[in-house]
Amino acid sequence: MECTIQVKHEQYLSIDGMRVKIARVEKDWTITKLAEMSGVTRKTIGEIERGSKKRIRPSTIQQIAITLDKQVEYFCTRIEKRIEGVGLDEL
C-alpha cells in the first residue's frame, strides 16, 4: 500500500496601508496630493491607508509605488496558505 501526501503553498500579497501612509507623509503630501500625482482616487487611497479596501488592483498599487518612489514590494506583506491533500493509491 502506498500513501501519497501533496502539500501546496499558495502565496497572496496583502498591502500594508500604514506603509502607504508613511511613504506619503515622508513626502509631506496629503491624500489629495497623492491622488493628483498618481491618478488614483482619494477614496481608494484613504481606504488602502485605513485597511478597509480588501481588493486592490496590482496596477493601482504599482501606480502609488511609482509616484512615491518605492518598490511595490515595500508595501506588500506575504501571506502563505498551506493546503494539504492526501491521495491514497492501491488500498
Q: What is the pLDDT of residue 8?
A: 58
Q: What is the pLDDT of residue 86?
A: 45
Mean pLDDT of the 37-56 span: 93
Distance between alpha carbon 44 and the CA centroid of its chain, in Å?
Answer: 14
Q: Which residues pair with 85 in a beta bridge?
A: 6
Q: Of 59, 45, 57, whose CA–CA distance to 17 is shortest?
A: 45
Q: What is the pLDDT of residue 89?
A: 46
On the question of pLDDT at 78 being above 90, the answer is no
Q: What is the pLDDT of residue 87?
A: 47
> What is the band of 62 on the pLDDT scale with cuts at 50, 70, 90?
very high
